[in-house]
Amino acid sequence: MSGAEAQEPPGAGHGLRVWDSQYAAPREAFAIFREGVCSSFMPWTPEPLKTDGSFEGRIESVLHRGRAFGISSTTGLTARKTKCDISRSSDECIYGNFVLSGEMTVDQAGKRNVAGAGDLILYHSYKTISLSEKAGSRNVTLAFSIPVSDFANAPEAEQRSLNTVIRGPDLIEPLAESLGMLARRLRSSSIATSSAIFDACVSLLPVALGCFEDQPGPQGRGDRSLRAIMCLIEDRLHESNLSPSGVASEIGISSRQLHKYFSRAGTTFGRYVMRQRLERVHSELRSVPSRKASISTLAFRWGFEDLSTFNRAFRRHYGYTPRSLRAW
């Protein structure tokens, strides 16, 4: 047992490993935490956000049939998975973090995603990646890794899980409940119980990603078209000239049909695009990597052409201004 590896909590089953920086001298805390990270979800190259020795971190992890899951709690860090790290990885995995508090930013495959409390963010172990947590707050996530081979029967699971965020309100209830239960009971449940709950999460993940929605069914064509529309919008969200007619033409449907899909979903093309753009800017305003970018730069990055229009829409949607959010 290393200097920061603690005994299992009372009542926990055999197999729960605990790493905690409080069991080491402050100057050694991050080095011990790095050892814990690389032991639980190896290999990574993490670095502290501060160099003053104030880092605090804790990992409680379980390894079960090639899958790893556990609770990670830190006061903020950055981590990279380099080509060298990837070459030392034994398996290709899908990584995930269910954010319980704080914030996580992931840069992978040319995309940046920011996940907050209640969101689930997914990314791949076998592509270079940069990950950061929010400085100055307690970042707690339920972290896990699952071999890609476990999703062999789930169509497009790899593609759909590549640097993807499922927002809390969009997370299917069974998966949200299972993830929450696993986080709450990890310390008190037996490993057999925790592993069974995690197995349920693994089974539900392809469903949450929409991997089976393209299967034939009474409403299959409409579901496929709406998902295709939303995926295209996400890819083109930064284009200020994004239009219903352009999207409809690329999907291969009429503009009238496109508007019908959104009407059935209880919204309009314009409202949906506006909400998605506002959410992207909101996430970037809260993220550490975008701290130096101006509000106008972020607004224009996500397709807004006029700053005053953006400011009005942002305040109407969130109830506060972009400037006040950045000041928090």
200 and 69 assigned to the same domain: yes
pLDDT at 39: 57
Assigned token pair, 7 = 């005994």
In a domain, 213, yes or no: no
Spatial contact of 76 and 50, defined as CB atoms under 8 Å apart: yes
47 and 186 assigned to the same domain: yes
pLDDT at 13: 39
- Distance separating alpha carbons of residues 125 and 214, to the nearest angstrom: 26
190 and 257 assigned to the same domain: no
Strands (DSSP E) contained in the chain are 5-6, 17-20, 45-48, 57-64, 67-74, 77-81, 93-101, 103-108, 111-116, 120-124, 129-133, 139-147, 164-166
Any idea what the CATH number is for the domain that residue 319 is in? 1.10.10.60
pLDDT at 70: 92
* Pairing status of strand 57-64 against strand 67-74: antiparallel
Assigned token pair, 190 = 């037996």
All residue ranges of the chain with pLDDT < 70 are 1-15, 36-42, 50-53, 213-224, 328
Whether omega for the bond prior to residue 43 falls within 30 degrees of 0, making it cis, is yes
Any idea what the CATH number is for the domain that residue 143 is in? 2.60.120.10
Nearest one of 7, 1, 10 to 188, comparing CA atoms: 10
308 and 200 assigned to the same domain: no
153 and 235 assigned to the same domain: no
46 and 194 assigned to the same domain: yes
187 and 303 assigned to the same domain: no
125 and 188 assigned to the same domain: yes
Spatial contact of 62 and 191, defined as CB atoms under 8 Å apart: yes
**Which residues, 6+ apart, have CB-to-CB distance to 136 below 8 Å?**
75, 76
In a domain, 215, yes or no: no
pLDDT at 36: 62
pLDDT at 52: 63
In a domain, 52, yes or no: yes
Task: Domain of residue 48: give its range.
Answer: 5-208
* Amino acid type, 83: K
* Pairing status of strand 77-81 against strand 45-48: antiparallel
Taking the CA atoms of residue 42, residue 92, residue 145 and residue 21 in that order, the dihedral angle to the nearest 10 degrees is 10
Q: How many other C-beta atoms can be found within 10 angstroms of the C-beta atom of residue 310?
A: 23
pLDDT at 147: 92
171 and 235 assigned to the same domain: no
168 and 265 assigned to the same domain: no
- Distance separating alpha carbons of residues 234 and 111, to the nearest angstrom: 11
227 and 124 assigned to the same domain: no
Indicate the helix (H) or strand (E) that contains 304: none
